[in-house]
Amino acid sequence: MELSRDFYENRKLENLVENQTSYTLNNAALHIFETHEQAERVLLQFDKPVLASMLKGKKIMHLRDQQSFNFLPGESLILPPDELMCIDFPEAQSTNPTQCLAMAISEEKIDKVIESMNELMPKVDGDEWALIDYNFHFTNDVGIYQILQRLLFLFTENHPSKDMFVDNMLEELIIRILQTNSRKIYTEQSFNLSSNNRLAYVIEYIRSNLHNHLSVKGLSKKACMSESNFYRVFKNELGISPTDFINNERIKLAVSLLQNPNKTIKEIYQECGFESRSYFNRVFKRRKKVAPGDYQSRFNVKL
């Protein structure tokens, strides 16, 4: 993500560590932090729920009751109100500053979006959308990346209607983050949830049968739902279609199998359930930006 020209023209650089530039609107405040020298144990706290997203450089985050972790560009973190962050900046330099956005969103706005989601896109088996798992650390997908890039522009733009523009983008951002969190929960806890949740049961079935033919029609029968209703509910709750979810899981498996240089590409794509090498190549390259054979060659280097 890139900061706009307006940001650089109007911001004041007053501190070398966590220099803060802020923009406040009705339902959210955007803060851009820049650090130009190495630092340790810098404390930061907000009184509202916060989305933090790395723009440039590297942070090491220390959060309460959680192991420390690297926070890198392309990643985001959801924090509850009053969460105390303790941050290290191991690589920050004047010529290569660390940059991060922190967007504090009003709880009223989040509650309103969740209420609308429960009314318009209810979850399966009587579950309801609720507040996200706080301290949720994730990699931005294309949709979230594009929304954050747009919000960076809107907050820094001098436009009389930007409150309305930002408000609409916030709704989509909250929905996509909740769906991303739901996808993570289903993926990591599908076995435990599968006994009383139809989507979790289907996801566990998918992950256990990646080598077999899988179709929306067959999966909808497993869920005891019509094909159209299954597709709608799946996409509402996880933010992606069943086919995209299946392909994502197959690519995860392929990535691990490709690390074995003794396996052929044919063995791998068949073991992952792809019907042809050409389709496997296309899906893999679209997601990993490299061909399967080139990816495998990285692990075939004699030391």
Confirm if 280 and 251 have CB atoms less than 8 A apart. no
pLDDT of residue 303: 36
- Domain spanning 194-303: CATH 3.40.50.280: no
Give per-residue pLDDT as tens, 227-272. Answer: 999 999 999 999 999 999 999 999 999 999 999 888 999 999 999 9
- The predicted model gives 282-292 an average pLDDT of 92
The pLDDT assigned to 7 comes to: 85
Band of pLDDT at residue 142, cut at 50, 70 and 90: very high
Give the global pTM: 0.86
Section 289-298 average pLDDT? 90
Question: According to the model, what pLDDT value does residue 147 have?
Answer: 96
Q: Considering the chain, what is the average pLDDT of its residues?
A: 92
Write down the H helix ranges in the chain.
Answer: 5-10, 107-120, 142-156, 162-193, 198-208, 216-222, 227-238, 242-257, 265-271, 277-288, 292-297
Start and end residues for every CATH 2.60.120.10 domain found in the chain: 5-128+135-161
Tokens of 226: 């019509």
Tens-digit pLDDT profile for residues 190-200? 878 888 899 99
pLDDT tens digits, 150-161: 999 999 888 999
11 vs 39 pLDDT, higher one: 39
Where does the chain hold its CATH 1.10.10.60 domain(s)?
194-303
Name the band, by pLDDT with cuts 50, 70 and 90, for residue 86: very high
Per-residue pLDDT at 72 exceeds 50:
yes
Cβ distance 144 to 180 under 8 Å? yes
Residue 299 has pLDDT above 80, yes or no: no
Instruction: Taking residues 264-285, report their average pLDDT.
Output: 94
Query: What's the CATH class of domain 5-128+135-161?
Result: mainly beta
